Every structure is written in C-alpha cells, then in structure tokens.
Copies of this chain bind each other. A is one copy, B any other.
Amino acid sequence: MTTADPAPQAPPRRRRPRGDVRAGLVAAGVELARAGGPDAVVLREATRAVGVVPNAAYRHFADRDELLAEVCSAAMLELADRMTAEIARVRGKRGNPEAAQRRLGAIGTAYMRFAHEEPGLFAAAYALPEQHPYGAAEVPDRTPLSLLRAALDELVEAGVLAPERRAGIEYPIWATVHGTATLTTHGPLRDLTESQLRQVEAQTLAFIGDSLTQ
C-alpha cells in the first residue's frame, strides 16, 4: 500500500458542514429533554449522540446552560406550533362569538395536551436557565403568549369579553392553564386517573370561561 489514502480505517476527524454540529447538539438535547426533562440534557451525552468529543460543544456554546437555553427555545416553539395547529382546526369566521370562544379553548386544550404528551419537553420549555432573558430570540407570532393575546383580542372583538377587562387578563388565564398543566404532569396531581384528569382539565377551561363571561 503506497497510497496515502487517509480514509480506510481511521478517519477520526471528518469535519461536518458548517454549523451542523451545533444543530446536531441542539437536536440531541431536545431528544434528551423529551425523554427525561431538562435535567436529562447532559452535555456529554449530546456530544456522544453527535459523535464528537465532549469539548467540541464548547466551540458552539459557552456552557451547558447555553445549550439548555437553545433546547428550551425549541421546546417552546413546538408548544406554540401545536397551539397554532389546534386553533386552526376551529372553524368559524373571526369575530364570531362561539368560534372565538372555541379558539380560546383550543389554546388551553393544546397547552395541556402538550404537557401530557411531552412532559419532558414541556418541563424543558420552562426550564430557562438564569441569565437568559425570556423571549430574546422569539418570533412574536409563534409564542404561546402572543397566540393567547390574539385569541383574547378576538374575544373582545366578538363582544364576549368587555374591553375594559381586557388589559392584562392574559396573565391569570395563562397562569390557570399553566398551573393545571404543571400540577397534573410533574406536580402533586400527577397520579390522577385518565378520567379525573379530563375532568380537571374541563373544569379548568370552564373556570376560565366563567370568569371571562362574568
């Protein structure tokens, strides 16, 4: 063998296309979070999945928290996209009272469904590391909060919600749905039966409706 062929058995370092390793690390981190929540996003494991040495991660992220922040953003985006999909399934013209109410319900349903179908990702979405301001790189229209705001604006437009009660009402509503989601997935209510769970979720949405149409 006289050829200096560098590939037959020992190509330990083939460089990936630009930015591919970083994307792979985030993707691996998302899968880890999906399977085990934010604590399962361990740097070395992600590098292993990508097929790279642990330190390589530090060429793309300052530390583990920066990777986690990326995973967190991705999880939040997936939540927003599921909400968008659920909203789109509701028929009815914009401004129609019943349709507007069903769209708000779709938001809450998608939120709580996501929490149960992807408990790890849901927890990761809210595991934003300290020192990472929320919404630094969020697209305003693909964030759970902005979707909720749009639905509430429509409720005002449809005459369901009094305009003078609109300001800031998104926070208690968000909190109610979020609270039910966390309590029933990771919290003390995590061991509810399927039917109990459905009842609590329905009651949560009814509770919100009662407050809005008061």
Q: Which residues of A contact B (CB under 8 A)?
A: 39, 126, 128, 133-135, 145, 168-169, 171-180, 182-183, 186-191, 199-200, 203-204, 206-208, 210-211, 213-214
- A179 contact set on B, CB distance < 8 A: 174-180, 182
The contact of A172 among B133, B168, B176, B190, by CB within 8 Å, is: B176
Main secondary structure of the interface of A (DSSP, over half): helix
- List, in ascending order, chain B residues with CB within 8 A of A180's CB: 171-172, 175, 179
Which residues from B are CB-within-8-Å of A128?
Answer: 187-188
> In the assembled complex, how far is the CB of residue A208 from the closest CB belonging to chain B, in whole angstroms?
7
- Among the listed B169, B172, B182, which residue makes an inter-chain contact with A178, where contact means beta carbons less than 8 Å apart? B182
| B203 contacts A169, C-beta separation under 8 Å | yes
Q: What 8 additional pairs, Cβ within 8 angstroms, besides A168-B203, A178-B187, A179-B179?
A: A126-B188, A128-B188, A134-B191, A145-B188, A171-B204, A173-B207, A210-B211, A211-B214
Q: How far is the CA of A179 from the CA of B112 in the complex (A)?
A: 13
Cα A202 to Cα B95 in complex, Å, equals 29
Q: Are B126 and A172 in contact (CB under 8 A)?
A: no
Q: Which residues of B contact A188 (CB under 8 A)?
A: 126, 128, 134-135, 145
Give min CB distance, A159 to chain B, whole Å.
18
Cα–Cα, bound, A199→B207 (Å) = 21
Contacting residues, chain B, for A174 (C-beta < 8 A): 179, 183
Partner of A187, one of B39, B126, B214: B126
Assembled-state Cα–Cα distance A144/B196 (Å)? 20
